[in-house]
Structure 1
Amino acid sequence: MARTSVLARAEKVEPNPTHQNVLAATARMVPEQVEVLVRTPDGGELALPAELVRILLASAGELARGHAVTVLASEVQLSPTETAELLGLSRPFVARLLDAGDIPSTNLPGSSHRVVRLADVLAFQQRRQRRREGRRQIADALDDAGLPY
């Protein structure tokens, strides 16, 4: 049976430019200082937990910057193709990263097909960004010192 794409099933929210000001104001709020109440169909109110408030405020910030927001659990398992799509890399390059262990993966039981946890993809992306930033800082320091590189 074919596996349905995790990314295709994920909730994706596109920004609405007419809401930009409200989203930007919401994003500036401090999660620990915000209480979000939801009115229930029966007229009652429900206070959202702090974790959900943090997600809402972070999402508001992304939407305010014009970015779409996709909601996925960190423990979701992705195919190598989905991993490549998220990282903006080619599938063969991601396969090499998986082979080298740069991104942890596991084989599906009784299969040669691999899956990758979203949390591991995000950790790889953060490491990659830190390395890129470090290289940029080194290049800037060499430039400032007038040294060739």
Structure 2
Amino acid sequence: MRIGALSQATGVDIETIRFYEKSGLLPGPARSANGYRDYAQPHLERLAFIRHCRALDMSLADVTLLLASVHSQDPAQLASVDGLVEAQLAKVRARLASMQALEKQLVALKARCDADHDAHGCGILEELVAAAHGEACACHGQGKT
């Protein structure tokens, strides 16, 4: 199949496919007589594997390690896969905690708005300006010292 068909079948952009080839994640395909890339089923499966890993927010270095482990029977290498996923899970949990903290800050900032803009200025903007001046704000508490 040509690169456009591979792209359509996997949902991976053509330029990304070419990048994966250049970086060695995806082996180069055979070339037809007219010079077009001719991808086969193993390319489609490997690209789908890479796409799935990237959807799990794994780095390209991690994807490379996972690809190297796919057909391995080495217990140490297989254990490294578990460690890799555990490390990825720790990153995701850290981001979740960070996002929850961000949510609390935004809720505190939103609470400064009483929506009666005819009678009052914008409490959100007042808080943001105060923070820009180094003053305490609703979302971050203490200002600069």
Q: Normalized against structure 2, the TM-score is what?
A: 0.36
Structure showing the higher helix proportion among its residues = 2
- Greater C-alpha radius of gyration: 2
Specify which structure has the bigger relative contact order, considering alpha-carbon pairs within 8 angstroms and separated by 6 or more residues. 1
Q: Normalized against structure 1, the TM-score is what?
A: 0.36
Structure showing the higher strand proportion among its residues = 1
